[in-house]
Structure 1
Amino acid sequence: MHINLPTWLTLFRVALLPVMVVVFYWQFPGHNITAAIVFVLAAITDWLDGYLARRLNLTSAFGAFLDPVADKLMVAVTLFLLVESHRGGWPGVVMAVTAAVIVGREISVSALREWMAEIGMRATVKVAFVGKLKTVMQMIALVVLIVQHERSAEALRLYHIGEALLVVAGVLTIWSGLHYLRAAWPILRGEPPRRELADEDV
């Protein structure tokens, strides 16, 4: 199997995940900044591999499978790290619930997409604005929370901003998931599809 440049970038993104975990817990000066840099680098490869695949026509079946898996892993692993470091009190509850909503939505919609593909009803894919907005909010929130996960007193305000942005991303996650479910609902009921399905985020 030939692995092209975009797929190598996707594999690199997956390889960065254990690096981020180690740096996140390794208590050296600036480890939080370093962990955030690793996360941002992974996010950049997410954009770059898709851009190169389209620009250079370097698409492949393996790359099409691996790219969304790498995206979901990146977000899920980061959320698990933040939840584990955020235990105790209502802030911990809010963080855990938000993470569960985001990860649960990704699992549910991924299962729905797989089923739609199996019955041959996923021919047209469009990107919705709500999905893009959710992704932007989510990435900014995760970067802020990684940097400030130790919640130092002088940076508490910035940490709360990250929490708020993640909650907003959670709400948008539900919204986009319901949007996708609504589009697929006629097919789930056994009716002919009334409009094209919308894939909110990649």
Structure 2
Amino acid sequence: MWTFPNILSLLRAPLAFLLLIPDTGVRLCVIVLAMITDALDGYLARTLRCVSPIGTIVDPLMDRFFVLFALGIFLTEHHLTSDQILAMISRDMAICLFGLYLGVSGTWGYYRFQAIWCGKITTTLQFLVLIALTQGYPVPQYVFSGFVVLGMLALGELALIYRHTVAKRIS
């Protein structure tokens, strides 16, 4: 559990709370640090050969926590609308729908959870939007539409992985 990459992942939780400080410089540093820990944790886990089942859960969980916490702050400060937030978490809703499908179909135990490219792209874009909002830059509406498209693509990517792994096992 206490591998260096997992500690890097877990650091995103206390970093998120630093976003409560209403200072542009502090928030910018916090978001950049969160991005760095997100980039390094997986890379180091693979490089140091300490990939763990806990790490594969903690990393995306801390990503979600950090981003959702930040979105909540920007919502309460009126920098984002609830519609924009829903668009930004489209990928997460797609993953929940897919998980629901796995549960209902009884194939949860057959599915091998892994990172998806649409997820990596979405997380990167979420961090970039957080940086833009922190700096006071307006985020064009097409960016939020892009998040919805990425959510649909994530669902498609998950379906392809399912087809190549689970469907072959149970047929």
| TM-score by shorter chain over 0.5 | yes
Answer yes or no: is 1:85 the counterpart of 2:73. no
Answer yes or no: is 1:121 the counterpart of 2:111. yes
After superposing the two structures, state which structure 1 stretch, 170-179 or 111-120, moved more.
Answer: 111-120
Q: 1:194 to 1:18 in 2, by over 3 A?
A: closer
Measure the CA separation in 2 of the matches of 1:126 and 1:66.
Answer: 12
Number of matched pairs: 162
Report if aligned partners of 2:91, 2:122 keep a CA contact under 8 Å in 1. Answer: no
Identical aligned residues as a percent: 25
Measure the CA separation in 1 of the matches of 2:47 and 2:85.
Answer: 34
Which position in structure 2 is the counterpart of 1:33? 25
* Deviation, structure 1 residue 111: 5.1
Measure the CA separation in 2 of the matches of 1:10 and 1:112.
Answer: 24
After superposing the two structures, state which structure 1 stretch, 9-18 or 106-115, moved more.
Answer: 106-115
Please list the CA deviations of residues 38-90 of structure 1 after superposition, one character each: whole Å capped at 9, or x if unmatched: 11101110111111001111111221111111001111111111111117xxx
Measure the CA separation in 2 of the matches of 1:194 and 1:64.
Answer: 21
Report if aligned partners of 1:134, 1:172 keep a CA contact under 8 Å in 2. Answer: no
Measure the CA separation in 1 of the matches of 2:34 and 2:47.
Answer: 20
**TM-score for both structures, normalised by structure 1:** 0.67
- Amino acid in the other structure paired with 2:86: A
Measure the CA separation in 1 of the matches of 2:77 and 2:115.
Answer: 37
Larger Rg: 1
Answer yes or no: is 1:146 the counterpart of 2:134. yes
Answer yes or no: is 1:61 the counterpart of 2:35. no
Q: 1:107 to 1:181 in 2, by over 3 A?
A: closer
* Deviation, structure 1 residue 127: 3.9
- Amino acid in the other structure paired with 2:111: M
- Amino acid in the other structure paired with 2:18: V
Which position in structure 2 is the counterpart of 1:103? 89
* Deviation, structure 1 residue 183: 5.2
Query: How large is the RMSD of aligned CA atoms in angstroms?
Result: 3.0
Measure the CA separation in 2 of the matches of 1:64 and 1:6.
Answer: 10
Report if aligned partners of 1:35, 1:147 keep a CA contact under 8 Å in 2. Answer: no
Please list the CA deviations of residues 97-116 of structure 1 after superposition, one character each: whole Å capped at 9, or x if unmatched: 11022235414414524754
Report if aligned partners of 1:32, 1:146 keep a CA contact under 8 Å in 2. Answer: yes
Q: 1:173 aligns with which of 130, 147, 153?
A: 147
Which position in structure 1 is the counterpart of 2:169? none
Q: 1:173 to 1:49 in 2, by over 3 A?
A: same
Report if aligned partners of 1:183, 1:195 keep a CA contact under 8 Å in 2. Answer: no
- Amino acid in the other structure paired with 1:101: A
**TM-score for both structures, normalised by structure 2:** 0.77
